[in-house]
A = this chain, B = another copy of it.
């Protein structure tokens, strides 16, 4: 990566607030002292690879072209590979080959080239079995940010061999949209599979105030829960505490209680089925 500007390294993990992200940042700055390191989040739900993939896909398109290190890695120290992905936009993604990275690479212009992280000269001298974030991913990312060629990280691998996580897709039916909770944000908003376009396909373009029946599937034998909810353009159109359906800032379908925590109120969980019908 050639640059006149300070190189950008973004960084996402499920390491929490204990100092492990700082250790990685220290390793990066030892190698790339001028890097602008941007923490995406270190509060990814522990071991939740798909949550990490969701957040990378949400965040990376807004970042400058750079190196993106992602570590949600329950398989650390096992046979799972480390990978680097070169994207159409010119970014390099670094992390475990467990499904964390490909969806975000797709959002950055697709995978142009994939390589396995195998060059020990770009790792720390001693590699532990439990902290590859520190020993492999951070130094690899920092070396690339500092100007090392992508090809140096290791041999090319077939992009078709990468571990892929399938995100649930919505199903447009007869006056019906069957979707799924993809991600629950810290506000308690529910981000659903599908987009405003899927809503339009199922029901015609919704106008603010149009009401829909939303059915949350019961889990573990619990009954379904149904409520009737308006389509809204933004939060301020809805009374405080009341629910709404809307297109979120990424163009994705979402359900929220205005100024309140819908996930807590509903006991909602990731992967819960949600059916939307006209009211």
Chain A residues with CB under 8 Å of chain B are 5-6, 8, 10, 12, 15-19, 22-23, 25-27, 29-30, 33-34, 36, 38-43, 46-47, 55, 58-59, 62-64, 74-78, 80, 128-131, 134-135, 185-187, 233-237, 246, 248-249, 258-259
Contacts and interface: CB of A to CB of B under 8 A. Distances in A.
Given A8-B29, A77-B233, A259-B47, A19 B41 contact: yes
A15 B18 CA distance: 14
A22 B41 CA distance: 8
Given A8-B29, A18-B41, A131-B249, 16 more contacts: A10-B26, A18-B186, A19-B58, A22-B38, A22-B41, A23-B62, A25-B38, A26-B62, A33-B64, A62-B134, A75-B235, A75-B236, A77-B235, A78-B236, A130-B235, A134-B249
Contacts of A26: 10, 38, 59, 62-64
Q: Which secondary structure characterizes the binding site on chain A?
A: loop
30 contacts: A6-B34, A8-B29, A15-B186, A17-B42, A18-B55, A18-B186, A19-B40, A19-B41, A19-B55, A19-B59, A22-B40, A23-B58, A26-B63, A29-B36, A29-B38, A29-B63, A33-B36, A46-B187, A62-B134, A74-B235, A74-B258, A75-B236, A76-B234, A78-B234, A78-B236, A78-B237, A128-B249, A130-B234, A130-B248, A130-B249
